[in-house]
Each structure stands twice: as C-alpha cells, then as structure tokens.
Structure 1
Amino acid sequence: MSTVKMIVSGFEVFGGLNKNPTLDILKDLKENPPPGVDLYTIALPVEYDACFEPLESLVDDFRPDSVIALGVAAGRSSVQPERIGINIEDTGGEGRMGDNRGNTPVDRKIRGDGPDGYFSTLPNRKIIKAIREQGIPSDLSNSAGTFICNAVLYRLMDKLIREERGVPAGFIHVPATPDMVPSSSGMPSMHQADLNEAVRTAIQVIKEAEEG
C-alpha cells in the first residue's frame, strides 16, 4: 500500500463556545491514523495575525502531498467543503465578536497585492459524494466567511500557488455538535462521530485521487 503525506488542521476554542469539534476530529485521527496516510495534525490559534504561521511552518517542514484545513461553522447543517477563500478580513468592527485577541478588522485585505480569491484544489465534488454515501449530509459552500477560517484558506492557497507546490489543499467546515447547541435554539447540529467519519472519508477520497 502506498503512503501519502497529509496535514489536517483544526482550531482552538473561540467565541465563547464550550468546545471546538475540529479538536476532537484531530484527536480521533491521531489515535486511529487512516491507513496509508502519513498524517500530521495541528491546532491553529484563532487570531488573524497568528492563525497561519504554524501551518505555514509545518507545510515547509513536512512537505505534504495534500492539506485539509478544518473549521466549525455553528448554524450549518452539513459538512461543507469550501469552494473559495477571499482576500478580506472583516468581523464588522468594534462591538462585534473579534478573534481570540479581540481584533475586529473591517475591510482589511489579507495580502494587499494579492488576487481577490483563490479556489480550493481539493476534489470537493468527489468528497461530497463520498460523504453522502456514508449517510452524512454534505454540500458545497461558496463562502468561507471573512473570519479566521477564510483567512487560513486564503493564506494557504496563496502560499501553495505562489510557490508552485502543486499540492491539493482546501478547507472543510463542519457543523456544531449537539452539546454546543441549546436545545431550545433550533440550531442544527451533527454528532461528533459523524464529523469524524466525514473527515476520514474526505481523507480517503484525497488519497485515492493522489494515487491516480
């Protein structure tokens, strides 16, 4: 069996939430590594100015064949690969929820001379199809927002494309888990086991695509 080198990132807890399910996904992957994958996991800080540096260093040191960045999007009802990251950081300004250091940028470009956006290079449609075949809801998302998730996606693609790495990479948003959602809110959620299985399925799809 051939082996591919892959990075999967998640995020620390943020925004007053009681957990971040991406950390549990990383824990599951570390405890039960997918077969045929030399996997490195990393939890990123939820800070505009520091969110990408640990991942950038890991990409340089580990030289992966592919990269999946994960984030939680409370309110979404399915596992959603992102189509594009855009060149903007915006939390709505003072009085709005900022990052974990209280930063609340408005209309700030991520890279001043950078393009307006970068498309993910993961096989998103195949990932969605495979996740659905596991009985888990999955859809394509056309907006990663303007918070830290989008910042990581944009910076990751900017680096890989400018350096001509030829490394498939992108971002997948997962829903909140039931223990994060008040029962009276009506907000959708998904069990952690399904989130874990969805990401494992995405990893398998990416591995098979790389093996040709």
Structure 2
Amino acid sequence: MTAEGWKTVLVTGFRPFPGAPVNPTEHLMQSLPGRLGEVTSTVRFVFHVLPTTWAGRHEVTGKLRRDIRPDAIVHFGVDGTRSTLNIETRAVNRAEQVRPDAAGETAPAAQLASGAEETRMSTLPAGALCEAARAAGAPVELSADAGTYLCNATLWDSIGSGIPSIFIHVPALPESPNDKRPAFAVVETAAVRILEEVARRLG
C-alpha cells in the first residue's frame, strides 16, 4: 500500500515484436488511464509499456516490481493466433530458444529458472476476471497455456515475486469486417472491467 493509503495495481502491455508489428496492448496502456483514471477511492493504477526483449525481463520489468512494490500486477500481451481474450491460469518454466525478441535475441536458456518448479499458478482469481470480461461482452476463455515466449516469462517472474499476478492475452486487431476477432473497443472495455474487479477485491 502506498503512503497515501491507496493500494497500487501495476498494469503492463508490450511493445511490438517480430510477428506483431502492431501490439494492441501498447495502445491499451495509452487508453486505459482515460477510461479508469489513475486513482479510485482505494486503488492507484500505474501503467507501463514493457520492451519485448529478454534483457528487459530483468532490467525493466523486474525493476518496476521492485520500485513500485504493487499490491497486484495485471499483465496484458498479444497472441495473434487467438481469436478470444485468454486469462492465463499458469506459467511454465520453459523458454523457446528459436523465436527472436524485438532486439533480435533469443532466450538465454531453455528454462526460466534452473532447478525451479515446472509450473506456477496465477495468483489473482482467473475465474472472476474471466466473468468480468465476459460481462463486458468480450469473447473470453480461461487458458492453461501462456506459451514459452516473453508473456509466459513475465507471468512466471511476477508470480514468483510473491505479488498477486495474472496475465491476459488479447487477440491481434481484426483486419477486415469479416474478421471474427474483437474490435479494440471491446478489448478495452473488457480490460476496464478486469481492472475494476481487481480493484474491488483489493479495496
């Protein structure tokens, strides 16, 4: 909790990366403050866009956790293979060493933490957040597969920090009127409802 008496929620999105030249979660971090405001009566939201690099995993994201010391963390990332929002229920101790990050680098090791547990379960209520997004009219599902790229690694690290954390994958933006993926406005409203539910539970 901050000195002013608020609890703090760190909310993050990602910059573009190979295969995702437009990252809707970067735009979410720009639009959500206008929808939510930075402070409610009990909760302060802090928004950041993370670099999509393995180096940034510790140099930026880890530093944010230490400096802000949030009471909860909600990460957003894009997955262009999905057509719904996905509330991730776990992270795995694996990292693919083939796919490059935005700096052209690959994961330094096949495991995120040598000798650590195979999985870590998300520590914010995935079911309740899924229902909050569904109530906003968004197509949403629970997921047990956050992948093996930086989204999974970010969730793994945040859970391991002891701070209640979750990751929400959103689809890429629709490319035509017949594209079944939700429009940005739908994703944005779902994100608002998710964050309001997190704030309600913290408050």
Q: TM-score, normalised by structure 2?
A: 0.87
Deviation larger for 56-65 or 121-130: 56-65
The answer to whether structure 1 residue 14 and structure 2 residue 6 are counterparts is: no
Partner of 2:77: 71
In structure 1, C-alpha distance between the alignment counterparts of 2:62 and 2:106, rounded to whole Å? 23
Structure 1 residues 59 and 105, CA gap change in structure 2 (3 angstroms): closer
Partner of 1:163: none
Structure 1, unaligned runs of 5 or more: 161-166
In structure 1, C-alpha distance between the alignment counterparts of 2:124 and 2:180, rounded to whole Å? 26
Partner of 2:47: 41
Deviation at 1:16, TM superposition (A): 4.0
| AA matched with 1:190 | P
Partner of 2:131: 129
- 1:40 is paired with a residue of what secondary structure? strand
- 1:54 is paired with a residue of what secondary structure? helix
Q: Contact 1:157–1:169 (CA<8 Å) still a contact in 2? A: yes
Deviation at 1:50, TM superposition (A): 2.0
- 1:75 is paired with a residue of what secondary structure? coil
Among candidates 198, 203, 210, match of residue 195 of structure 2: 203
CA deviations 1:56-93 (Å, max 9, x no partner) are: 212222221110011001121211110111111114x3
CA deviations 1:159-182 (Å, max 9, x no partner) are: 22xxxxxx321111011111xx4x
Aligned pairs for 1:163-178 within 5 A: 167-178=163-174
Q: Contact 2:92–2:120 (CA<8 Å) still a contact in 1? A: yes
Deviation at 1:196, TM superposition (A): 0.9
| AA matched with 2:119 | G
In structure 1, C-alpha distance between the alignment counterparts of 2:140 and 2:82, rounded to whole Å? 10
Partner of 2:32: 29
Deviation at 1:49, TM superposition (A): 2.8
Aligned length: 196
Deviation at 1:18, TM superposition (A): 3.0
Runs of 4+ in structure 1 off by over 4 angstroms are none
In structure 2, C-alpha distance between the alignment counterparts of 1:123 and 1:52, rounded to whole Å? 25
Q: TM-score, normalised by structure 1?
A: 0.84
Partner of 2:7: 4
- 1:198 is paired with a residue of what secondary structure? helix
Structure 2, unaligned runs of 5 or more: none
Q: Contact 1:10–1:44 (CA<8 Å) still a contact in 2? A: yes
